[in-house]
Structure 1
Amino acid sequence: MTPSFLNSQWRVRPLLACNGVALLLLLTWLWAPSRAIWDQVDLHLFALLNEPVHAAGLWAKTWAIGSMRPVDMGVGLLMLAVMLKAGLVFNAAQVRQALFAFLAALIVMLLFRVGFAELVKLMGWQRPSASLVVEGAARLTELFPGWEERWDMKDSATRSFPGDHASVLLIWAMFMSFFARNWRLLLVWVMALVFMLPRLVAGAHWGSDALVGGVFLALLGLAWACFTPFAYTASGWLEKATLPLTRVLSKVPLLGRLSVISGR
């Protein structure tokens, strides 16, 4: 059963709408008068989130853990678990095709990211992260040097725009929003926003890296995958290509009971 928003036809209106919103959002960041507003939002948001870190208490420790590289892997697994749990957002027959369609959207977004990174570099739009710019910023790596040595915490970046971490979370949340309803929709967006916070609290990214750059990339990736035949075609192709593997895995105890393998 193909997810209802996927089809083999071009959907011009939502495609143009997503591209238009993405471009307009980027222009607000580039146009000097509105950029001044974004800069103030960035500074105020960073002060709000980062200043409590100086106390090195529970707030700091929570986001220091969230900034660890291994935690990113755990977040990714949790996102997949929400997607692959039959009956939570997708029914069992949709799980595998939804996963393949999301991977197609993610690939499209990453391709846009490569091109956009070159444009950002060419136009001189790049900038260092908040923790490297704001005087007196609390650095998690300095507060917890032992954790940094062992777990590789992320609290700075010489090139912070756009927010890659945020773009992945946002395209996942936008994709899931096609199906999630009621408390499930709330769950998806709470997860996305909470998992974006560690980079913002630590100052590895400015707020607009996520709210402009991340949203810009997520909208483009989602639009050109799901409102064109690409995700539909890619999910169908991957379904056929992986069929021999899923047939083998379906015979493995426990593993074969997973909806992403069995389709039921």
Structure 2
Amino acid sequence: MSQCQFFAILLLNAAGVALFFSWYLPVNHGFWFTLDSAIFFYFNQNLATSPLLLYTVAITNNRAFDACALLAMVSLYFYHYQRGDSTERQRLLIIGVVMPITAVVLNQLGHLLPVQYASPTYYFSDINRVGELTGWPTKDASRDSFPGDHGMILMIYSAFILRYFPRRSFLISLVIVVVFTAPRVMIGAHWFTNIAVVPLSVVLVALSWWLISPASDEMINFFHRSLPARYRR
């Protein structure tokens, strides 16, 4: 690992730690709570007056809609897979194994943080609940919305795209992150900070060591060496 890479890791770690403690240390999360509350009430007060918003967030927070997020991620991945030769395809398949392993480990580490935080729809009273307004099964609340699993996994996916794919694909992955995390905030199932700030701080700290250092490449090479010789490309 070069000095430049090491410096980049330290810089990203400092940014991630500063971001997390800017949320964690202040009483009631300081200005982050003000921002969280403003975002929640902006959308919540419009749920009763805008049928378009109401049914959009109801549909996009149904568990079946999560399959659309998976489809979007796989489609971007498959675009590069089908354009590659046999060697590149094998490499992409191995990256496709390393990525979910990384996501599971980091997501579990995120849950070790000493925080339990109910969603805005449980935190505030006298508010609009999409499930009650529509009668549809939809995720509009969570007893423990910390950290946002949805945001964490999508950010990890986007970080891998940044590391191993062209920059244009990274920009597309950012669009996927926004499109499929925003509904959780709009419906009140997560605070904005549970989707964006806290998962981002974990990703900045942990994934910088994993993706900027040779660690992820070593794991990819390990899986490649573990393949039977006749299957290696």
Give the equivalent residue in structure 2 for 1:140. Answer: 130
**Higher-helix-fraction structure:** 2
Measured after TM superposition, the shift of residue 176 of structure 1 is 1.6
Which of 180, 193, 196 in structure 1 is aligned with 2:166?
A: 180
Tell me the C-alpha RMSD between the 2 structures.
Answer: 3.1
Give the equivalent residue in structure 2 for 1:226. Answer: 211
Measured after TM superposition, the shift of residue 185 of structure 1 is 4.0
Measured after TM superposition, the shift of residue 224 of structure 1 is 3.0
**Mean Cα displacement is larger for which, 52-61 or 65-74?**
52-61
Distance in structure 1 (CA, Å) of the matches to 2:212 and 2:99: 10
Taking structure 1 as the reference length, what is the TM-score of the superposition? 0.75
* C-alpha contact (below 8 Å) 1:105/1:226 kept by paired residues: no
Q: Residue type of the partner of 1:41?
A: L
Distance in structure 2 (CA, Å) of the matches to 1:237 and 1:73: 31
Give the equivalent residue in structure 2 for 1:128. Answer: 118
* C-alpha contact (below 8 Å) 2:72/2:176 kept by paired residues: no
* C-alpha contact (below 8 Å) 2:99/2:157 kept by paired residues: no
* C-alpha contact (below 8 Å) 2:17/2:205 kept by paired residues: no
Change (3 A) 1:86 1:78: same
Q: Residue type of the partner of 2:132?
A: E
Distance in structure 1 (CA, Å) of the matches to 2:214 and 2:66: 31
What's the % identity of the aligned pairs?
Answer: 24
Taking structure 2 as the reference length, what is the TM-score of the superposition? 0.83
Segments of structure 1 that go 5 or more residues without pairing to the other structure are 1-6, 248-262
Change (3 A) 1:103 1:27: farther
Change (3 A) 1:28 1:224: same
* C-alpha contact (below 8 Å) 2:58/2:130 kept by paired residues: yes
SS at match of 1:55: coil
Match status 1:169 vs 2:154? yes
Which of 23, 30, 40 in structure 1 is aligned with 2:34?
A: 40
SS at match of 2:80: coil
Q: Residue type of the partner of 2:48?
A: H
Segments of structure 2 that go 5 or more residues without pairing to the other structure are none
* C-alpha contact (below 8 Å) 2:107/2:153 kept by paired residues: no
Correspondence 1:60-209 to 2 at 5 A: 60-86=54-80, 91-92=84-85, 94-101=88-95, 103-120=97-114, 125-145=115-135, 147-148=136-137, 153-178=138-163, 179-182=165-168, 184-209=169-194
Count of residue pairs brought into register by the alignment: 231
